Amino acid sequence: MSDTSESAQGAQAAKAAQIREPAAEASRRTSSVRRGGGGDPASRGRTTIAEGVVEKIAGLAARDVEGVHAMGSGVSRTFGAVRDRVPGGRASVTRGVKVEVGEVQTALDLEIVVEYGYSILDVAGDVRENVISAVERMTGLEVVEVNIAVSDVKLPEEEEEEPETRLQ
């Protein structure tokens, strides 16, 4: 057989394999780049993303949705309010967010407080959409699920949960 027909058959086989098994094809491409010593520098090495990174992205994306009053359960919000008032303390953007991160996928659990008057289903759907979009865009990880637990509804007449301070 000629070199041209072999390379055409090889290209067709590679394309078919890429359609059937994109991850396996990417792996083969990476290993061939290592052997050859050339190619795309971005494919030389491995990138890992810590759970805390995904938690921060998801927490900020969830808080951006209209109708979300707060994140986390009542207990965690109370402790967070105390921590926020301590000099040097900062608000935790990861409160109410738990994630599991794999090599190419992630799953998230969010706990939110919805403001009274908003549709809980609409707010949860908007949170899910915003979180998936932000996490996938910023990390490249595939978000396989976003579970949302609504732990409370913020009523208009309720005061903010702020602890009393002894210092004036």
pLDDT in tens, 80-124: 555 555 565 555 899 999 999 999 999 999 999 999 999 999 999
Evaluate whether 76 touches 124 at the Cβ level (below 8 Å): no
Residue 21 identity (one-letter amino acid): E
Would the pTM count as exceeding 0.75? Answer: no
Evaluate whether 25 touches 14 at the Cβ level (below 8 Å): yes
First vs last C-alpha separation in the chain = 89
Evaluate whether 87 touches 126 at the Cβ level (below 8 Å): no
Separation between Cα atoms, residue 61 and residue 137, nearest integer Å: 12
Residue 31 identity (one-letter amino acid): S
Average pLDDT along the chain: 77
Per-residue pLDDT at 29: 36
Rg (C-alpha) for the chain, rounded Å, is 23
**Six-digit token string for 54:** 């995904």
